[in-house]
């Protein structure tokens, strides 16, 4: 159905932040004074439009909640027609509210966080660009539009990771993020090519309408290619290596892009493409395997990091692993994937911003071994962080409890060996999560002071702490609100209706709870009850393994980078000595030695050229004479 009323103005959602980015970038230094205010106002405006569209949607029922808004014809070539349009449905509106809501809070926080940065205006321009691209990603009604948004957020991520580009590490991390993502984009691109070849269209409606007629092999191929794309954007194995390096960006970026929104785009892609995955058990299985492997890998990495942001980044990988696992389980899984995604958006953004607040207090030091006892000086940061912490470890009654336990239960309900294996991974992951988050908590806020002498921590200004408080409220309530409040029914028009009842007490839930307490206790024994050394101990084989990101980079380097460098060198040598040499040799045979060719004087070259032309003219004439 066509969008009406305020929903017909949904293009404003994207246009506002896009205009913000354009004004701030083109306006240059003239906009320095008020640029951050404009930058923060734009996502707020989008949030208002999103809310209005959301309430209008609640007024409809069932499939009437799916609305289309045609924007313009992108192009028509042969039988290939791409309509740029927006799809306003329960799934996309959920993302719109998350992106603009959490996004606005992070913009506001950044006013304070970036107050002393000379390039604050440029920072807000990039953030606005990100919000616009992310909204296009989730609102587009076709895969090409989605792809434009997909690459747009990649660009924003590149610009923001490398925001302090004068630091070589930041510049390298930005490039790495983009290149690794491109590997994923390769999958998404080929998926789109295959869709066009199969269905003659890339509009969602056309693809999903024809999917039932496509062969099983094609459906699975599309599913696996989409999964490759999702792995890149969402930092899932084997394309996970960029996310930890992406922490080089300013902390609000880590919160917005590399925790709450962009990195979850892969989950969106899979849930959005549910008609494809529903028809391919093999593709779904691949999604669950990737999710389960990453949730464990991320959690293990999180255990060994002393850098507070990298510990949180490992955690993000792991939590997105949970979402992927859920998405691969299909049906009820889609609902829990999105519910966990939204809940995670709140608590992880809150904790990242909390980490930023701590870093501000600690003179930008990120080493948790030099923190300690910060609860005594930063009450608000500590309090909000603590709520986020309880939410992520799945403390009963808070967000994570509802959404994560839902995923674990759904995994076991899958049945069979695969269900048992996946469920066990998820339960183990919950225990490890409790351990590494408690470790982070104890090292940062508890224990004795291990601060450097010139560090005098203080609470951050209100412009930073108010967003923290609002996000903390979301961390506490979002999960329960969604899971108990009928989110499954809300999403039903997109992912299909399902019977689901939340069990407050269940066997997997109880085991999870026990493991959670075990994880907290273990962390307490190691980092709470005992003093934390300021220098990291050498650690066991396993610790080193985790510190090195499970040797992901080493693997990439030895398997891809080194051979790539050799291939490049070989190709350059081959081209100059081989191909070019051969041709020069031929030329030498015609026009004298190749050495003479190089040393040839300008005047000589001229006469040489002219004689060539004369020769050519003679040949022309001769040929004509012969023919006529």
Partner 1 sequence: MFPWLSVLIALPAVGAFGVTLLPKGADELAKRFALAVSTLVAVLTVVMAFQFKTGGARFQFTESYWWIKAFGVHWAVGADGVALVLILLSVILVPLVVLASWNDAERSGGASENPPKRSVKIYFALILALEAMMIGVFASTDVFMFYVFFEAMLIPVYFIIGSYGGPQRSYAAVKFLLYSLAGGLLMLVAVIWLYPLSARPVAAGGLGHPSFLFSELTHLQIEPTTAKWLFMGFFIAFAIKAPLVPFHTWLPDAAGQAPAGAAVLIVGVLDKVGTYGMLRFCLELFPGAARWATPLVLTLSVIGIVYGAILAIGQVDLKRLIAYTSISHFGFITLGIFAMTSQAQAGATLYMVNHGFSTGALFIVAGFMISRRGSARIDAYGGVQKVAPLLAGTFLIAGLSGLSLPGLSSFVSEFLVLVGTFSRYRVPAVIATVGMILAAIYILWMYQRTMNGPTAPAVSAMKDLSRREVVAVVPIIAIIVALGFFPKPILDVINPSVKQTLSRVHQVDPKPTVADQLIKTGARP
Distance (Å, whole) CA 545 – CA 300: 9
Residue 214 vs 311, nearer CB to partner 1: 214
Compute how many other C-beta atoms are within 10 angstroms of the C-beta atom of residue 443. 25
* Residue 208 sits in the site that holds partner 1 (CB under 8 A): no
Interacting residues with partner 1 between 80 and 109 (CB under 8 A): 80
Q: Taking the complex as a whole, how short is the minimal distance between the CB of residue 559 and partner 1, in angstroms?
A: 15
- Segment contacting partner 1 (CB under 8 A): 77-85, 420-428, 462-470, 495-503? 77-85
Residue 80 vs 379, nearer CB to partner 1: 80
* Residue 118 sits in the site that holds partner 1 (CB under 8 A): no
> Tokens 């949607």, residue?
57
Distance (Å, whole) CA 28 – CA 478: 39
* Residue 579 sits in the site that holds partner 1 (CB under 8 A): yes
Q: Burial, 377: exposed, middle or buried (Cβ in 10 Å; 0-12, 13-18, 19+)?
A: middle
Given candidates 1, 420, 571, 614, which one binds partner 1 under the rule CB under 8 A? 571
Q: What 3-state DSSP class applies to 377?
A: coil
Compute how many other C-beta atoms are within 10 angstroms of the C-beta atom of residue 63. 11
Given candidates 78, 416, 533, 537, which one binds partner 1 under the rule CB under 8 A? 78
CB-facing half-sphere around the CA of 599: CA atoms within 13 A? 5
* Residue 194 sits in the site that holds partner 1 (CB under 8 A): yes
Interacting residues with partner 1 between 216 and 245 (CB under 8 A): 218
142 strand-pairing partners: 203
Q: What 3-state DSSP class applies to 2?
A: strand
- Alpha-carbon dihedral of residues 528, 530, 534, 539, nearest 10 degrees? -100
- Segment contacting partner 1 (CB under 8 A): 242-250, 255-263, 427-435, 603-611? 603-611
Q: Taking the complex as a whole, how short is the minimal distance between the CB of residue 230 and partner 1, in angstroms?
A: 17
Given candidates 64, 555, 618, 619, which one binds partner 1 under the rule CB under 8 A? 619
Q: Buried (b) or exposed (e) across 508-529, using 16+ Cβ within 10 A?
A: bbebbbebbeebbebbbeebbe
* Residue 572 sits in the site that holds partner 1 (CB under 8 A): yes
What binding mask, one character per residue, do residues 514-533 give for partner 1 by CB under 8 A, x or -? --------------------
Distance (Å, whole) CA 507 – CA 483: 19
Residue 452 vs 575, nearer CB to partner 1: 575
* Residue 568 sits in the site that holds partner 1 (CB under 8 A): yes
CB 89 within 8 A of CB 65: yes
Cis check: omega of the bond before 238, within 30 degrees of 0: yes
* Residue 601 sits in the site that holds partner 1 (CB under 8 A): yes
Interacting residues with partner 1 between 123 and 182 (CB under 8 A): 144, 147-148, 150-152, 155, 158, 162, 165-168, 170-172, 174-175, 178-179, 182
Q: Taking the complex as a whole, how short is the minimal distance between the CB of residue 77 and partner 1, in angstroms?
A: 5
Q: Taking the complex as a whole, how short is the minimal distance between the CB of residue 356 and partner 1, in angstroms?
A: 23
With CB under 8 A as the rule, give the number of residues binding partner 1. 80
Q: Taking the complex as a whole, how short is the minimal distance between the CB of residue 565 and partner 1, in angstroms?
A: 9
Given candidates 583, 607, 611, 618, which one binds partner 1 under the rule CB under 8 A? 583
Q: Taking the complex as a whole, how short is the minimal distance between the CB of residue 206 and partner 1, in angstroms?
A: 9
* Residue 587 sits in the site that holds partner 1 (CB under 8 A): yes
Residue 501 vs 599, nearer CB to partner 1: 599
* Residue 300 sits in the site that holds partner 1 (CB under 8 A): no
- Strand runs labelled E in 144-197: none
Compute how many other C-beta atoms are within 10 angstroms of the C-beta atom of residue 572. 10
CB 495 within 8 A of CB 331: yes
Compute how many other C-beta atoms are within 10 angstroms of the C-beta atom of residue 12. 17
Residue 486 vs 564, nearer CB to partner 1: 564
Residue 489 vs 575, nearer CB to partner 1: 575
Q: Taking the complex as a whole, how short is the minimal distance between the CB of residue 470 and partner 1, in angstroms?
A: 32
Distance (Å, whole) CA 112 – CA 251: 12
Q: How far is CA 255 from CA 43, 52, 626, in A?
A: 16, 26, 79
Residue 183 vs 492, nearer CB to partner 1: 183
Distance (Å, whole) CA 254 – CA 120: 16
């Amino acid at each position: 159905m066509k969008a009406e009323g305020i929903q017909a103005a949904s293009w404003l959602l994207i246009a506002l932040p896009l205009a913000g980015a354009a004004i701030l970038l083109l306006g240059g230094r003239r906009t320095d004074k008020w640029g951050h205010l404009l930058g923060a106002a734009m996502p707020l405006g989008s949030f208002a439009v999103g809310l209005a569209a959301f309430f209008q949607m609640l007024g409809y029922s069932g499939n009437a909640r799916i609305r289309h808004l045609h924007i313009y014809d992108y192009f028509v070539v042969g039988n290939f027609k791409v309509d740029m349009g927006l799809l306003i449905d329960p799934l996309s509106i959920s993302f719109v509210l998350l992106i603009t809501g959490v996004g606005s809070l992070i913009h506001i926080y950044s006013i304070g966080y970036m107050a002393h940065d000379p390039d604050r205006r440029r920072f807000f321009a990039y953030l606005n660009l990100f919000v616009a691209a992310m909204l296009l990603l989730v609102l587009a009604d076709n895969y090409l539009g989605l792809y434009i948004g997909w690459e747009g957020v990649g660009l924003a991520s590149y610009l923001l990771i490398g925001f302090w580009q004068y630091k070589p590490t930041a510049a390298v991390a930005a490039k790495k993020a983009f290149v690794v993502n491109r590997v994923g984009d390769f999958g998404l691109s080929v998926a789109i090519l295959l869709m066009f070849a199969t269905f003659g269209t890339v509009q969602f409606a056309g693809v999903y309408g024809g999917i039932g007629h496509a062969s099983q092999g094609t459906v699975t191929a599309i599913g696996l290619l989409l999964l490759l794309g999702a792995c890149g954007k969402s930092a899932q194995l084997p394309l996970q290596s960029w996310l930890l390096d992406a922490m080089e960006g300013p902390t609000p970026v880590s919160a917005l892009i590399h925790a709450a929104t962009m990195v979850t785009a892969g989950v969106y892609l899979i849930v959005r493409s549910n008609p494809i995955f529903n028809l391919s058990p093999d593709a779904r299985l691949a999604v669950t395997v990737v999710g389960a492997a990453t949730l464990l890998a991320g959690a293990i990495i999180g255990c060994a990091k002393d850098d507070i942001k990298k510990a949180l980044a490992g955690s993000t990988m792991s939590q997105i692993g949970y979402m992927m696992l859920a998405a691969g389980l299909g049906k009820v899984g889609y609902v829990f994937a999105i519910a966990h995604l939204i809940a995670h958006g709140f608590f992880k953004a809150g904790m990242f911003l909390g980490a930023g607040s701590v870093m501000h207090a600690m003179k930008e030091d990120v080493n948790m071994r030099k923190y300690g006892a910060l609860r005594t000086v930063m009450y608000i940061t500590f309090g909000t962080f603590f709520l986020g912490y309880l939410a992520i470890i799945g403390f009963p009654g808070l967000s994570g409890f509802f959404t994560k336990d839902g995923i674990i239960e759904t995994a076991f309900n899958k049945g069979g060996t695969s269900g048992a294996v996946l469920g066990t991974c998820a339960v183990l992951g919950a225990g490890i999560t409790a351990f590494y988050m408690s470790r982070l908590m104890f090292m940062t806020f508890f224990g004795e002071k291990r601060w450097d002498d010139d560090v005098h921590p203080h609470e951050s200004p209100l412009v930073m702490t108010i967003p923290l408080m609002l996000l903390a409220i979301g961390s506490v309530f979002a999960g329960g609100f969604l899971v108990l409040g009928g989110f499954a029914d809300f999403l039903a028009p997109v992912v299909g209706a399902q019977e689901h009842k939340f069990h407050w007490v269940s066997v997997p839930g109880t085991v999870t709870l026990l493991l959670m307490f075990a994880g907290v206790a273990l962390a307490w024994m190691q980092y709470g009850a005992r003093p934390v050394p300021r220098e990291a101990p050498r650690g066991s084989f396993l610790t080193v393994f985790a510190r090195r990101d499970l040797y992901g980079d080493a693997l990439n380097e030895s398997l891809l980078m080194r051979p790539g460098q050799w291939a490049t060198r070989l190709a350059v040598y081959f081209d100059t000595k081989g191909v070019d040499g051969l041709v020069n040799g031929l030329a030498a045979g015609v026009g004298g030695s190749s050495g003479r060719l190089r040393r040839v004087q300008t005047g000589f070259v001229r006469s040489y050229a002219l004689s060539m032309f004369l020769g050519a003219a003679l040949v022309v004439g001769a040929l004509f004479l012969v023919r006529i």
